[in-house]
Structure 1
Amino acid sequence: MRLVKKIFYCLILVPPVCIVLYCFLHYPENTVDIKYKGRSSPHNSPGYELWSLREQYPHISYKKKENIASQLASNDCSCEEQRSLFSNFLRRDSVTDLELVFDAAERQEVKQRREKEYQRFRERTRSSADALLFAKANSPLEYPIQGVEVRPLKTILIPGLKLQAEPQQRFEVNLTATLGTFDVAAEVDEVTIEGEGAMHMSLSSSQLDNLNRQLQFVTYSNTVFNPNTADTVLFKTDGHQAAFTIKIRHPIIPKLYNVKSQSGYNISALVTIATKTFLRYDKLRELISSVRKYYPNVTIVIADDSDKPQKIEGDFIEQYFMPFKKGWFAGRNLAVSQVRTKYLLWVDDDFIFAADTKLEKMVDILEKTTLDIVGGSVREVTTYSATFLHKLSVEAGREGGDCLKIHQGYYHAVEGFPNCVVTDAIINFFMARTEKMQQVGFDPHLSRQGHLEFFVDGLGLLHVGSCSDVMIDHASKITLPWTKKTQNEILYQKLRYIQASETDSNLQNKLFYFKNRFKCIRSS
């Protein structure tokens, strides 16, 4: 009896095992070419500019409206200093030519290497969804212009496909893709379908209504895995062609913070204070003491790259030690990486909390608006406070690189928050959404100086605001003549101001030139 059971189990198990082994050994290996293709295209493609319209309708004259045409992007920014007849009386733009920070012998090599990296960057980030597409007027084809998405390697129904045409003997449409295949979820009578399960599919019928009904069941299946790209689908009929994109991407995964609801804001549960210190333990202890006066239970994260680190004792304090002189931005990365709350407050180690350092106001605007980061005011003396409001913009500059423009000021006020405005760069006292800070990060090349670089890297990623009614004090930098400096103060002065000023200024410009592909910075 046992022998019969064994034979029975073998007869059941052997065929599936053989099938699995056969599939494993003979299944076609799917390969995808993901190398850099080296495809070149005009800078800021598609470059739909006013000058490109000159060849259209050449027999019709036109008169340019200068006040409007001058606002159009020229994609050829200038780094030359702008002068005017009254330049001696008005403030002029200052221009920093970033190429000049390199020696003449290395300038051309650096420029070529930067351009090569830039082309790779464009290949890596460019998507079909960025292409400029037009829905031609009076086309018989109806199709989705945007908003169609599919998960990688998944299938969807393509919405909105339809043909409108005059009566004829036979109607036909064709669909072509490059990253997926077409099929139909249902079949309609009197419709002929060719190419089901392929990248090109043709549908035809003598009845227009039948064909349109069949188009409602057309599916698209992504077959080439890429977590964030798009496929351009060509939709054709006799004498007409249209194109639309299907985005291929995973859903955005939310990052939610589990904070128990209560009346008012639980600052200890919502906010972590982060700072970077270097040799200035007296200033750091004064900062912590001032924080504890108003927020005794808020966690303080400290990144420390001092030569002889001192342990900072106290509840709700996390101190992380780094190699000596590891750097200002490297320390900011470390501190931010350890924040677990929804928001983080960045402060310098020589700031001092005061009665009007109201973190609740910062939390309130972040909770109620789309801002990602909101700054306050730093009070240098009792009658003076600084907010550092700057607007940033980038002008296209073709092959030579782009121009970074820095303007003082802000865009507009925030409704419901009368002392708050929207801008691009703020002072070094701000509260931010933790995940957005971690997304942008800080360039660890900047060792002792740096601030604007973070906001340049975050341009387009961060929605920035500033509120002048949230203030923090800055420890006085005035040194009395009879006061003897400590060894740490002497070393800090040397490394922070003397050595850093000799190296970091050129380094900052080199980073702007190569990493951000700027050819100059214009500030006003």
Structure 2
Amino acid sequence: MLQVSSCGIGVALRRLESTTMRNTCKKCLVLIFSIGGLIALFRTWSQETSSGVDLRPRHGSSVKTLLVGQIEDINGGYEDVAFRIKEQVARQLARNSCVCLADKETFQLPFSNLLFPRVWAHKLDTVFLESHPDPEGVKRHRAQEYSKSQSRSYSPADLPIVAKANSPLQYPTQGVEVRPLKTIILPGLGLKEGKKSMHTVSLTATLGTFDVAATVDSVSVKGEGEKHVILSSRDLSALNRLLQFVTYTNTVFHPKTADTVEFATEGHRSFFTIKVGHGSIPRLYNTGTQKEYNISALVTIACKTFIRYDKLKDLIDSIRQYYPTITIVIADDSEHPEPVTGPHIEHYIMPFGKGWFAGRNLAVSQVITKYVLWVDDDFIFSANTKLEKMVDILEKTSLDLVGGAVREVTGYTATYRHTLSVEEGGEEGDCLHVRSGYHHVIEDFPNCVVADAVINFFMGRTYKVQQVGFNPRMSRQAHLEFFIDALGSLHIASCSDVIVNHASKIKLPWGETDTQKAYQKFRYNNAESNIHNEDFYFKNRFKCQTGN
């Protein structure tokens, strides 16, 4: 291989220049042409060996095809062995063909829905597409966006890899990680086979190169510093010793991806992945060393308000009764905002009618404490609103968010516990299933359960809530949408023993104020319903939603 360095070219040019001072003009011309040829050769070599990086998503890579074929080969055979389907287990398997079905209506009795909740179904694809001027166009657009999204999120580490039984190759199947452009020793490599005249293994990668951190006599290494390396020896023990020093260096920068390595010997080929990516940076909060929880240092209360300053004042007064120094962040999109002042209060003015979720984003974005508590502006704290209990469960568990309970004037206490699941549905989209209930009770916290969606009174880890965010298109009516976006990102609980009171919603027609009428007009606006359908259908790629 031709190897030319810039230093070598400089030396060559200086020597040629010296020669031209001593020779004839004819020789000068020859040397000039020689220099030009050398420079042209160097440029050509540089272009041919350019280290260009293909940053396109590797969604349909050849490695994926190889792995899929390998799994198919492993799963094949044994056709002559009879089997019986175990229906109870088979029904739990994903079928990629979800359907939108509601429970059939059988009989109607007073309070029958409370005693025997009936599953309803909302065909999002039908409702949304029927009202859209170009249903086929929007379906194509959604399919294109989904394909791009899948390509961006694809990682070779997601592919299933099966190590064949009785393979002489020993290799790691999980847990190998390298930082971008850094080097590691590959753990666990080995070859376990009988006596042969020559023992040989090879390693092949796509996003990095191999080398050895030591040398062992009688072991030959070919391809050091390259993507394909071959190690061979007549002595199996010596080969296995050197395999303990094989290194992998990532050569293509990417903040989060994976390289699929082929590890092979004669008649056997296996694959394993090396995760490539930066480590997660911790998000630590200096909250002091007190033995008891300092709620003011740990928690900020966030709230969105809209013209209901009387309700907001009652909320603040109730908070101050129990937590006089806790910070309250208020986002306000009233048309004629009124001043909201006082110690430990931050009042942020937004454009008129910007909306509830936009206000949530603003309020939560200003929180600097470890936890954020979300409240509505018509809540009222009481002796049962013990934020310490919420902090305690977040401090002692892996949970990211914990909801409480809301007590109405009538005495009824609501927790709004729901489970969410998404069933794959093929090209037309997936199905969202919402069910009342929870997954299981949390040990050592008997009044708390694990769920996927909770009531609109919750405390969460600030940075985790910020990562999920709130869709600002949802201006007036939204709650479930946040938890759908959080599915798979937030570990959520609901505790029934942390209770906030709800201001009375009872309004007599002849006693309704202008402010209350204005609020009702903006709060309960049906014009937003199609936005919900569009977001579920397009953004979340649902074709159906069911619930009870």
1:347 aligns with 2:375: yes
Aligned to 1:162: 190
Query: Is 1:81 aligned with 2:102?
Result: yes
Distance 2:187 2:530 in 1: 54
Which of these residues, 432, 441, 457, is aligned with residue 404 of structure 1?
A: 432
Counterpart in the other structure of 2:136: 108
The residue type paired with residue 246 of structure 2 is V
Moved more, 74-83 or 511-520: 74-83
- Does the aligned pair in 1 maintain the 2:74–2:164 contact within 8 Å? no
Distance of aligned partners of 1:262 and 1:38 in 2 relative to their CA distance in 1, 3 Å threshold: closer
Verify the 8 A CA contact 2:331 2:363 in the aligned structure 1.
yes
Cα distance in 1, alignment partners of residues 306 and 257 from structure 2: 44
Aligned to 2:386: 358
* Residue 80 (structure 2) pairs with residue 59 (structure 1): yes
1:137 corresponds to: 165
Aligned to 2:243: 215
Corresponding residue number in structure 1 for 2:119:
93
Which segment is superposed worse, 280-289 or 488-497?
488-497
How far does the alpha carbon of each residue in 1:239-292 deviate from its partner, in whole angstroms, 9 at most, with x for none?
001100000011110000001111311111000000001111111111111111
Question: CA deviation digits over 1:66-110, x for unaligned, max 9?
Answer: 112112111111113354878998643211111122336422211
Letter in 1 for 2:543: K
Structure 2 contact 155–257 (Cα < 8 Å) conserved: yes
- Contact 2:124–2:542 (CA under 8 A) maintained in structure 1: yes
Q: 1:297-353 deviations in whole A, cap 9, x for unaligned?
A: 000000111101111010100011111111111110000000000001000011011
When residues 64 and 38 of structure 1 are mapped into structure 2, their CA distance, relative to the original with a 3 A threshold, is closer
Question: How far is 1:496 from its partner?
Answer: 0.9
Amino acid at match of 2:119: D
Measured in 1, the distance between the counterparts of 2:396 and 2:325 equals 24
Q: 1:474 to 1:307 in 2, by over 3 A?
A: same
- Give the number of the structure whose residues are more often helix, by fraction: 2
SS in 1 for 2:482: helix
1:508 aligns with 2:532: yes
Relative to structure 1, the CA distance from residue 314 to residue 30 in structure 2 (aligned partners, 3 Å threshold; closer, same or farther) is farther
Percent identity reads 57
Letter in 2 for 1:67: Q
Report the CA distance shift for 1:413/1:138 in structure 2 as closer, same or farther (over 3 A): same
Deviation at 1:176, TM superposition (A): 0.3
Structure 2 unpaired stretches of 5+: 1-6, 12-42
CA distance in 1, matches of 2:347, 2:52: 48
TM-score, normalised via structure 2 length:
0.86
Alignment CA distance shift 1:329-1:29 (3 Å): farther
Question: Partners of 2:168 and 2:55 in 1: how far apart?
Answer: 37
The answer as to whether partners of 2:57 and 2:154 remain within 8 angstroms in 1 is: no
Distance 2:202 2:319 in 1: 68
Question: 2-side partners of 1:293 and 1:456: how far apart?
Answer: 35
Change (3 A) 1:203 1:458: same
1:71 to 92, 108, 113: 92
Assess, with a 3 A threshold, how the Cα gap between structure 1 residues 55 and 181 changes in structure 2: closer, same or farther.
Answer: closer
Q: Who is 1:520 aligned against?
A: 544
Spell out the pairing of 1:313-392 with structure 2 (5 A cutoff): 313-392=341-420
Q: Which amino acid aligns with 2:172?
A: P
State which of 487, 490, 501 in structure 1 corresponds to 2:517: 490
3-state secondary structure, aligned to 1:381: coil
SS in structure 2 at match of 1:333: helix
- Once residues 253 and 450 of structure 1 are traced to their aligned partners in structure 2, the CA distance between those partners, rounded to angstroms, is 32
Residue in structure 1 matched with residue 327 of structure 2 by the alignment: 299
> Which moved further from structure 2: 301-310 or 88-97?
88-97
2:200 alignment partner, one of 172, 175, 191: 172
Alignment of 1:196-235 (within 5 A): 196-235=224-263
Q: Aligned letter for 1:508?
A: H
Unpaired segments of 5 or more residues in structure 1? 1-14, 20-24
SS of aligned partner of 2:89? helix
Q: Is the radius of gyration larger for structure 1 or structure 2?
A: 2
What is the rounded CA distance, in whole Å, between the counterparts of 2:437 and 2:96 in structure 1?
A: 24
Indicate yes or no: 2:317 matched with 1:289: yes
- Which residue does 1:5 correspond to in 2? none
Residue type at the aligned position of 1:62: F
* CA displacement at 1:187 relative to structure 2: 1.0
SS at the partner of 1:248?
A: strand
Contact 2:407 2:500 in 1 (8 A): yes
Q: Residue type of the partner of 1:374?
A: V
